[in-house]
Amino acid sequence: MITPIYRVQCDGPGKEWLSLPEGHVTGADVTADNLIAAPTAKRACNWPGEKEAKRAAVGAGWRHAPDSDFKTWFCPACQSAGTRP
């Protein structure tokens, strides 16, 4: 059986991924305060559904473009750099 997963990638210039930090213990709770923007998908979080991926992104400070219908996401660094529309 194939099970889909969802990941979140910033649409800003860095194209970073919503990820777990180095040293995160497998099996430990994943909370918004321990999610980071990482340059590669190596430690990107695999969410079981689109709703869960959106909820995690919002909790970690990521925001969608107002006209994107939740399809375009910007990490906090891109937002503070003025990349967000």
Whole-structure pTM value: 0.84
Our CA angle for 14, 58, 69, nearest 5°, is 80
Sketch the domain layout of the chain as residue ranges. Answer: 1-23+31-85
Q: DSSP 3-state assignment of 33?
A: helix
Q: Are 62 and 10 in contact (CB under 8 A)?
A: yes
Query: What distance in Å separates the CA atoms of residue 76 and residue 1, rounded to the nearest whole number?
Result: 36
Rounded to 5°, the CA angle 63-64-65 comes to 125
How distant, in Å, are the alpha carbons of 25, 62, 68 from that of 44? Answer: 14, 14, 22
Say what the pLDDT of residue 57 is.
93
Tell me the pLDDT band of 5, cut-offs 50, 70 and 90: very high
